[in-house]
Amino acid sequence: MADRLFSSAVWLSAALVAAALLWIVGDLARLGLSHISLEFIFSAPENAGRSGGIGPILVSTLLIIGVTLAVALPLGLMVAVWLAEFTRRGNRLSNQIRLALDVMAGIPSIVFGLFGNAFFSIYLGMGFSILSGGLTLAVMILPVFIRTCEIGLTAVDNSWRQGAEALGMTRTSAVWHILLPAAAPAISAGLILGIGRATAETAALIFTSGYVDRMPESLLDSGRALAVHIYDLSMNVTGGDPAAHASALVLIALIILFNLLAQGFSDRWLYRRLAT
Amino acid sequence: MFRGNIDRLVEPPLRLAGFVCAAILLLILLFLIKEAAPVLTGGGWRLFFADSGWYPMEGLFGILPMLVASLVVMLGAIMIAAPIGLGCAIFLQYYAPPVLAKAFRLLLSLLAGMPSVVLGLWGLTVLVPIIGSWQPPGTSLLAATIVLALMVIPTMALASASALSSVPGSLMNGAAALGLTLRARICYIAITSAGAGIRSAALLSMARAIGETMVVLMVAGNVVQYPSGLFEPVRVLTANIALEMAYATDLHRASLFASGLLLTLIVLALAWLAARSNESSKQYG
């Protein structure tokens, strides 16, 4: 009796979660799909977003993520390579940097927003801008990205390093030609995690990249990210719900697209170098 | 002959990058403290906890109602998410046939990757009207708790599943040989043995829940008051920052930064407890 009760409870909890996800996705599709069209994706918002589209907002979103990646990708890879390949295990300095990264990974996103506003927007004088928002997000995703890449590099079998050493390769070329390509799956996983978080982020952007929904002319213009647009439409614009649901669908599609791109990036670029 | 020279050239910039990362953390803390300084110095922080309420226009910055609301929403969310999440983990680990387990894992990661603003939108346009038709206005503690629980269930489930997967097979086989049923093996052997890992999963989920902004901001109703009932609207600390940062100045702004600092400390304490719990679980592995 108790056994049966227990196994039904287990199946029930799994079914409940599956049903909840289907409910959410179903509702989003039901409420948003009819509003989506090519015109919606490319045209500018009108009437505070109730009608018109999300063209400039998509451009701003892509620019913000571009800034984020331009900073976080090279910096993150450098730190991961240094931690995994250029320091000894148990080195005090590198352990302290790891601790700093773990602490940073725990900071709530709204607090990154506070920091970004105080430091990038005001102290460095960037104002409400795409640059400020992108840099804030870069700081936010760095810890997760670095740790995932580092774990991937550390997991590469030691015989690869010994082989490179035996061939007389420098550590630098071993990293470049062998270890980074071999760790490509982990790097792309870190990239997916980072881009996913950055694309979905709202709280850190509200007071760093701002609300302006015009087409941005430079990185120093304020630009409204898609996630911020959804928030604004649903909270501050009465009658904005259909557009909000359509934007939510576009946001989810965008995240899936980035996942595929990151996967392709790792498969093609890094792995091919290993194969030839 | 030149071997190693390029390494010597390459290493310093890499090390510098490492320092830059550590410096960013210091910079974050420095700026939070600097901006919060007007409240922190001169005993202002006591007003922070003693004031009768949050009336920034009149210079009253008591955050206690919002702090309590944050904690209540977090505890409510984990009370829903912990049993369901653990149930999902047990399902993944012991009940689901391999194909179903794979599909369910994918489903959990889909839910985990769902942007919080989208969950908030769903909560606001679907869940809130349902609750509202029963107990108006609908935007309430209950709505925030439910959507937040949905958000952290994947964290709870996936972390617990990995704790359960590290339970030694010999323990489970031994228990099976003694004639224990699957339920008894799970309840008395697996969950006990993976206890520290499951605790760590719950603490991590709590850290995510209290640090979350958008979901709660969109469905909780944002009225500053002590939570007095499931159907009452509340405002949590994160939502308060998001709502008022845009126009806050002087002491008001400083107190928002101070509440951000407080929030960070709470999240870090939870994350530290989670890491410690996980550490102790490894001693038996």
Residues A174-191: what's their mean pLDDT?
Answer: 88
Query: In angstroms, rounded to a whole number, what is the distance separating the alpha carbons of residues A204 and A113?
Result: 4
**B161 in Cβ contact with B92 (< 8 Å):** yes
Q: A191 in a domain, yes or no?
A: yes
Q: Give the least confident one: A211-215, B1-5, B21-25.
A: B1-5
Torsion on CA atoms B253, B259, B260, B264, rounded to nearest 10: 160
| Phi, psi at B55, each rounded to 5° | -130, 80
Query: What is the set of domains in chain B, with CATH numbers?
Result: 54-282 (1.10.3720.10)
Domain extent for A78: 9-275
Q: pLDDT tens digit string along B263-279?
A: 999 999 999 999 888 87
Distance from CA of A78 to the nearest CA of B (A): 5
In this model, does residue A112 exceed pLDDT 60?
yes
Q: Is the ipTM of this complex over 0.85?
A: yes
Closest listed residue to residue A247, CA positions, set A77, A76, A45, A86? A45
User: Which chain B residue has the Cα nearest residue A108?
Assistant: B211
> Best mutation site among B16, B20, B25 for testing chain A: the one with the most A CBs within 10 Å?
B25
Distance from CA of B58 to the nearest CA of A (A): 23
Picking from B22, B83, B115, the nearest residue to A100 by CB comes out as B22
Q: pLDDT tens digit string along B48-73?
A: 777 678 888 887 888 899 999 999 99
State the total domains in chain A: 1
Q: Do A79 and B13 touch (CB under 8 A)?
A: no
Q: A36 in a domain, yes or no?
A: yes
A191 Cβ contact list (under 8 Å, min separation 6): A73, A145, A262, A265, A266
Distance from CA of A23 to the nearest CA of B (A): 10
Using the Cα atoms of residue A70, residue A74, residue A77 and residue A83 in order, give the sign of their dihedral. Answer: negative
Query: In angstroms, rounded to a whole number, what is the distance separating the alpha carbons of residues B199 and B164?
Result: 12
Q: A252 in a domain, yes or no?
A: yes
Closest listed residue to residue A135, CA positions, set A72, A223, A195, A197? A72
What's the one-letter identity of residue A73? L
CATH code of residue A178: 1.10.3720.10
B63 Cβ contact list (under 8 Å, min separation 6): B48, B49, B54, B237, B240, B255, B259, B262
Q: Give the least confident one: A98-107, A184-193, A260-269, B13-22.
A: A260-269
Q: A3 in a domain, yes or no?
A: no
B13 Cβ contact list (under 8 Å, min separation 6): A78
Closest listed residue to residue A232, CA positions, set A48, A39, A55, A25? A48
